[in-house]
Amino acid sequence: MKTGSNFLVKSGRTNGNVTMQVIEYPTAAEFLDTTHTMLLENEAANELILSYAVSQTNGVENTMSTTFYCVVDNDTPLLATMYTPDIWHQLPA
C-alpha cells in the first residue's frame, strides 16, 4: 500500500499502536492499487464501486467528483467505499 503526503489518513490507536486507518485516495488509480484484489473477491457485490473507479481512471466526466476511501489494518484493505456528493443534486425532489 502506498502512503505519502497526498493521502488523507485518519488512524485509530490502541495503546499507542496504529490498528486501523481510513485513507482517502487522491486518485481512483491509487485506490484501485490498494483495493482491486479485495473488490474482485466479490465482484458482483462490488461492481458499482469498481465501475466508478475504473471509469474515473479512464477520464469519464460524470465520475470525476467521486472520492474513494479504504479502511486498512496492517496494510490489509478491509472496507472500500466511495462518496459521490454531486449525485444528490441530480435526484428528483
Write the pLDDT tens digit of every residue in 80-91.
999 987 666 666
Q: 20-79, pLDDT tens digit by residue? A: 888 999 999 999 999 999 999 999 999 999 999 999 999 888 777 889 999 998 889 999
Greater pLDDT, 59 or 3:
59
Q: Give the pLDDT score at 53.
A: 95
Question: For residues 14-45, b (16+ Cβ closer than 10 Å) or e, as one string?
Answer: eeeeeebbebebeebebbbebbbebbeeeeee
Contacts of 72 (CB under 8 A, 6+ apart): 1, 20, 21, 23, 34, 78
Residue with cell string 470525476: 64
Supply the pLDDT for residue 60. Answer: 87
Per-residue pLDDT, 64: 76
